[in-house]
Chain A
Amino acid sequence: MSLIQVKNLSFSYDKKRPVLADITLDLDGRSTAIVGQNGAGKTTFVKLLKGLLKPDFGEIHIGKTSVKEATVASLARKVGLVFQNPDEQIFKGTVRDEVMFGALNLGQDKETAETRAREALERVGLGHLSETNPQDLSLSEKKRVSIASVVAMDPEIIIFDEPTIAQDHAGKEQIKHLIRGLQEQNKLVMTIIHDMDFVAECFERTLVFNEGKLLMDGLTRDVFSRQDVLHQAHLEPPSVTQLGKKLGFAETFLTVKELVSGLRNGGNR
């Protein structure tokens, strides 16, 4: 089922140089990664989906709602966006108030908002910090607070912008777990990300942006098998994919487990 429809979308900040040109795609429930160089138009694209920017040309529909006609407030119920820089998002005096803020703004009563905030903080591993001032947290913790704030609003579509920045192994595992949980709740999870190893492990579908254009849209495994496309977008396949190719395998491996079993079984070399 199509959750987001994008048709002939174009956008430019200065009305001269296009940042996005003629993007057409359909997003269904599959978890989707958006990859590409800095400046490829990824963040602009997700801001358009959330209605923070208005297209110059083309249409975006979230379900049956046209983003052009909807207010930012009404879209906030459907689409949650976690910014790359948590300081653009965080402003309350305690972590709990911060995470409750969005939910309260959507009209939830205090009790529900508090429960949602508590659950969301547990999910990102910060349940113990609810009384702390967010400004006293490390960058990795702030990032997880900003993720929890959006999760507490319970939108149907959740978009992350570089969620793994500044995260160590444990933080990444926590985010991986959260993404899988959101998928189980039938939410559409999308993320802009530079970490290809993370994409390989967590996302079914991958969109490759390059210089404002959608260069490729496909299953993550198919995208990472296309060395030519990745090269054009100045990207490298995940480490495990690279190792598999260098060892002469025809298959595209996405996880350590897959490659190890390929090596054990002799595989297709």
Chain B
Amino acid sequence: MLRAGAVIVVFAVVAALVGPLLTPFDPAAQDLALRLAGPSVAHPFGLDELGRDILARVLAGARISFLVGLTVVSVSASLGTLLGAMAGYFGGAIDDLISRIVDVLMAFPGLLLAIALVAVLGPSLGNVLFALTIIGWVGYARLVRGQVLRAREFEYVQAARAMGAHTWRILWRHVIPTAMPAVVVQATLGMAGAIIGEAALSFLGLGVQPPTPSWGTMLNGGRAHLLDAPHLTIFPGVAIALLVLGLNFLGDGLRDATDPKSKSSNSRV
């Protein structure tokens, strides 16, 4: 599972990086005479409603997806880890404040808060990144808080405290690293969530705006042509599903590799 996930993700990364070399067409170039043309040798994924090469746009969309995934995950994970570690380590009023904010943000199901934020802030890539980060950091904070609550009682942490080590040094050097394996697993699955989140917002017309190619925007454009040009819907969807599947495989595999309990659940009964 881990290997299959890694292969899919590496394939997607390479495709996103060398995308312009894989197709001679510009993702924004229009050929209205060939609009909605189906897959052919020249255009393996066909052309969209404005005669743009879908393969070129899927490859360009991959770059947007990775940009969103990496930005949201790195900011959310850093913020969530820091706040979760502070809540778990200091306890008291700091813990109460951070935990109540987490509770309130977690009271909104999944993407709903992101939809609400983008609805008022306006549709743009920047606002999508902001909204997905706002809903993203809470998961890391809750996860790290739990890990730190346990880690702060470890003898070596107490020893460091007794030796007079600075609080931030203890957190940075001794406490936060114990939460890292769980954070890495969460980040892998979180990247899949961020990519789906961006695509969902763009599909609803609240995310990346045309003509920038995003897989969600492409799927939204394909809705009007389900009858006459289903390829507009099929190829961007395959791209999202494949990348998310790869990231889920990778996340699950990493979890199995780091969690002995989940390893044993795979054994034969």
Are A and B physically bound partners? no
Interface set of B (CB-CB < 8 Å, partner A) = none
List chain A positions with a Cβ less than 8 A from chain B.
none
